[in-house]
Amino acid sequence: MFQSGFSRARHACAGAGGGIAAIAAGVALLGGCASFSPDGGFGSVQQAVTARMAESTAQQGSSREAVSVQWVRSERDADSVRARVAELLAPSSAQALTADVAVQIALLNHPGLQADYAELGIAESELVQASRWRGPRISFARLVRGDELEIERGVFFDVLGLLAIPLSTKVQGERFEAAKLRAAGAALRVAQEARKAWISAVAAQQSLAYAGQVKEAADAGAELGRRMAAAGNWSKLAEAREQAFLVEAVAQQARARQGALAATERLARALGVASARELRLPERLPDLPKLLPAAFPGADDPAELEARALAQRLDVQAARRDAESLAQSLGLTKATRYVDLVELGFVRKTSAPALPQRGWELDLRLPIFDFGGAKTARAEFLYMQAVSRAREVAVRARSEVRETHGTLRERFELARHYRDEVLPLRKFISEEVLLRYNGMLSSVFDLLADARGQAASVSAAMEAQRDYWLAESDFQLALTSQSPGAQPPGASTAAVTPAAMAAGGH
């Protein structure tokens, strides 16, 4: 480390105080210490989240209310969040839990999201620390040899650390901006998980209700089969078919009950609520739109989709920030590669009863074993790693937005096919069979067989509707935030502390 050392005897310390204070004042002015922002950088996170969710709403042509995002940093904030969540979950509310309300609860209440927000505070703390000079180091020595007393006092200033402050602050500033992007991405990820969990839970409850209806119909068919067989009007084979339909309906109802339980518990976890009993869900999913909403003009063009994803996705922007900060760190490493090999100090020593001694001392460390190459090489490899990861994120973003958009289109076409073709045809067949049965033109066998076929078609239609809404949620996330199903965001590269690089070391 390149340091200036000033040793003063006790009788000279008072006179040196003004000079040291002037040096410290000049150093503080040169360093330009940063301070903590009032909101910890959370305002940028709020803006990014609300803007992207508003854009998603506009693309879907719906009229959702603006979401509220809050970082719980005090007991007052926690009380406010608890009161708002209790209000949204109140049993006395006029309607069941909607997808938008579920998203709002998750953004306010999810504990994992609050942990992600804490990364903002960590990044800002590192930024403030990087902007502050370490200050003087004071040394004191008292030596006795016989009747002789020797006292040394010294004040040392970290000159290299001072010179590195502007670049260190810039590096940590880039990392702070990347932390904001990751926090916003975490919020959008939690919102998407809550929406998908709500879709799955409502679809599971809808399937359970329909499984109950099928089971009731199967009960009626089996009872009819037993009576017809007892009267000698049915064969054992026909009775066995109805019994088989019943036992399969019972098994299907049990699977639907377990699926509804699991989906509701996943929704509770996604919202951060303690009990799934607090959730009151609607009976069915929203209807399909008449036409597939256009994400934006030109969305059918793969190149336009890719360009929009690269411009909007938060994980792409965060990866770029990481690479830029590491590039600046590499410049700092090269700049301080050899400077820390020299130390210069001015010495003044008092020895009682002899007169004070004055002089200077130059300490030159020969870099026999360490020329700073390892430190520079580490920074270079970290930068190469960050660049490669940024390219990986960009490639993944382009591919995922194409894939999710294609999946969205296919699932919409399938759900629309069931809605416009399969179910109307099944309804027509059921009505015709019932008319023929009432006119004694068809048998009860035809009526029961049609009921079994209709049950399978309706179940498949509900699954197709659920899959469309899930695909819609995945596409919105892939277009604006990050990979669907991605892990909670973290720093994409290993941290390189500018102060540590400036200080050198093996």
> What length does the chain have?
506
Asked if the model's pLDDT at residue 313 lies above 60, the reply is: yes
Cα end-to-end span (Å), the chain:
13
Asked if the model's pLDDT at residue 24 lies above 60, the reply is: no
The average pLDDT across 415-433 equals 88
Contact 32, 165 (CB under 8 A): yes
For helices 111-130 and 99-109, the axis angle rounded to 10 degrees is 50
- Choice between 349 and 449, residue whose per-residue pLDDT is larger: 449
For residue 433, give both structure tokens.
């069979």
| Dist CA 234 CA 55 (whole Å) | 62
Q: So what's the pLDDT on residue 492?
A: 41
Q: So what's the pLDDT on residue 348?
A: 59
Contact 139, 3 (CB under 8 A): no
Ranking 101-105, 357-361, 429-433, 469-473 by mean pLDDT, the lowest is: 357-361
Residues 6+ positions from 179 with CB-CB distance below 8 Å: 41, 119, 120, 122, 123, 124
Q: What is the tens place of the pLDDT at every residue in 233-278? A: 778 888 888 888 889 889 999 999 999 999 999 999 999 888 888 7
Eight-class DSSP state of 277: G
Q: So what's the pLDDT on residue 31?
A: 46
Ranking 194-203, 222-231, 406-415 by mean pLDDT, the lowest is: 222-231
Full-model pTM: 0.73
53, 152, 155: which is closest to 481 by C-alpha?
A: 53
- Choice between 25 and 271, residue whose per-residue pLDDT is larger: 271
**Backbone phi, then psi, for 362, in 5-degree steps?**
-115, 125
Spans of all domains in the chain:
3-503
Q: So what's the pLDDT on residue 22?
A: 46
Asked if the model's pLDDT at residue 346 lies above 60, the reply is: no
Three-state helix/strand/coil letters over 425-456: HHHHHHHHHHHHHHCCCCCHHHHHHHHHHHHH
Q: So what's the pLDDT on residue 464?
A: 94
Confidence of residue 61 (pLDDT cuts 50, 70, 90): low
Highest mean predicted confidence (pLDDT) among 24-38, 227-241, 341-355, 486-500: 227-241
pLDDT > 90 in the chain, percent:
16
The average pLDDT across 64-72 equals 78
| Dist CA 423 CA 456 (whole Å) | 11
The average pLDDT across 184-207 equals 92
Q: What share of the chain is helix, strand, coil (3-state, %, to 5)?
A: 70, 10, 25
468, 315, 337, 280: which is closest to 392 by C-alpha?
A: 315
Ranking 380-384, 399-403, 472-476 by mean pLDDT, the lowest is: 380-384
| Dist CA 404 CA 427 (whole Å) | 33
Three-class secondary structure of residue 156 per DSSP: strand
The average pLDDT across 290-307 equals 77
Contact 64, 50 (CB under 8 A): no
For residue 422, give both structure tokens.
């399969």
| Dist CA 110 CA 105 (whole Å) | 8
Mean pLDDT of the chain: 77
- DSSP for 242-266, please give it: HHHHHHHHHHHHHHHHHHHHHHHHH
| Dist CA 181 CA 319 (whole Å) | 10
Asked if the model's pLDDT at residue 133 lies above 80, the reply is: no
Residue 275's CB is within 10 A of a number of other CB atoms, namely 8
Confidence of residue 27 (pLDDT cuts 50, 70, 90): very low
Residue type, 382: L
| Dist CA 104 CA 125 (whole Å) | 29
Three-state helix/strand/coil letters over 296-360: CCCCCCHHHHHHHHHHHCHHHHHHHHHHHHHHHHHHHHHHCCCHHHEEEEEEEEEEECCCCEEEE
Q: Output the furthest CA–CA distance in the chain (Å, rounded).
A: 132
- Class of CATH domain 3-503: mainly alpha
Highest mean predicted confidence (pLDDT) among 163-172, 187-196, 492-501: 187-196
| Dist CA 256 CA 348 (whole Å) | 87
Asked if the model's pLDDT at residue 103 lies above 80, the reply is: yes
- Choice between 388 and 62, residue whose per-residue pLDDT is larger: 388
For residue 344, give both structure tokens.
């210069």
Residue 439's CB is within 10 A of a number of other CB atoms, namely 8
Asked if the model's pLDDT at residue 470 lies above 70, the reply is: yes
Three-class secondary structure of residue 37 per DSSP: coil
Q: So what's the pLDDT on residue 465?
A: 94
